[in-house]
Amino acid sequence: MILSGLLEGRLLKRYKRFLADVELPNGSVCTVHCPNPGSMLGLAQPGSSVYLAPAAPKSKLPYAWRFVEVDGGLVCIDTMVSNRLFKEAFQNGVLSEFAAYDQLQSEYSYGDSRFDFRLSKTGQAVGAIVEVKSTTLLEEAEVAEPNQEESERKGRLSYAAFPDARTERGRKHLNTLRQLAVGKGDAAFQYYIVNRTDTKKFRPADSIDPDYGKALRQAHQAGVQIICRETAIAVVDRTAGGTIDIEIKMAGLLPVLL
């Protein structure tokens, strides 16, 4: 997926969850939409370089915030990009873990929950329900006995973690997936897409929402399949007019530590 025509700016502040003030290249200050309801820990530091896309036609704001630069790498903060990326990757046959399916239905309702996708195989009744979570939080932990590679990181490892704020909705999804997994119908998947490129493992953010971590482990024990993929994010073009194209694509599977 390539997000085209982005404009670089400098973040001044994020506030009221869905708003941010950004200084544009011409020195003017613009209020933009922040499409991320989470806490965005470590991603909303004033002075950070950010990348904006033209807002939707009916939006009252001119731009929407898409990416932020952190320690030289890019992080996609738009939570809806993950769903679009998953759908595109599935349709292009990129997701080997779902090679058994050839049909995709978005916004699938089961019980009292609505999930991002239901996958199925033509001619077969049983499929898979998938809930996708955009993951941007980075946590660090001490390494008790670092190996050579980890020693170079001074005895600390970085983990992608979810959630970055307490999430009752996320726990509800896990509980419904757990109920689904113990039945004889569709398979159940909790799928994390890590929208940053500086970590190689995933774990639940117990320090932020221990109830979510507990629910994730219970879901896993009941048969919910937990999958995490990293992404590759890079600037692929800078035009003379000052706009920027950024590519984000699915990369490898990450180990999930429960």
Domain ranges within the chain, ordered by starting residue: 2-76, 81-231+249-253
- Return the CA Rg of the chain: 19
Range list of H helices, the chain: 79-91, 148-151, 168-181, 210-222
- CA 228 remoteness from chain centre: 10
Residue 110 CB-density burial (10 A; 0-12 exposed, 13-18 middle, 19+ buried): middle
What pairing do the DSSP bridges indicate for beta strands 113-120 and 103-110?
Answer: antiparallel
- pLDDT by residue (tens digit) across 54-73? 988 888 999 999 999 999 89
What is the CATH code for 81-231+249-253? 3.40.1350.60
Residues 76 and 86: their CA atoms lie apart, in Å, by: 14
The pLDDT of 216-223, averaged and rounded, is 97
Residues 196 and 187: their CA atoms lie apart, in Å, by: 28
The single residue listed with the structure tokens 């429960």 is 258
Residues 164 and 247: their CA atoms lie apart, in Å, by: 24
The pLDDT of 224-231, averaged and rounded, is 97
So what's the pLDDT on residue 151? 45
| Residue 41: DSSP 8-state | T
Residues 176 and 168: their CA atoms lie apart, in Å, by: 12
CATH of 2-76, one of 3.40.50.720, 3.30.1360.170, 3.40.50.2000, 2.40.50.580: 2.40.50.580
So what's the pLDDT on residue 156? 67
So what's the pLDDT on residue 155? 59
If one compares 249 and 148, the residue with the highest pLDDT of the two is 249
- pLDDT by residue (tens digit) across 190-201? 999 999 988 889
- pLDDT by residue (tens digit) across 134-158? 999 999 876 555 555 544 445 567 8
In this predicted structure, which of 19-28, 34-43, 85-94, 149-158 has the lowest mean pLDDT?
149-158
The tokens describing 87, both together, are 């759908």
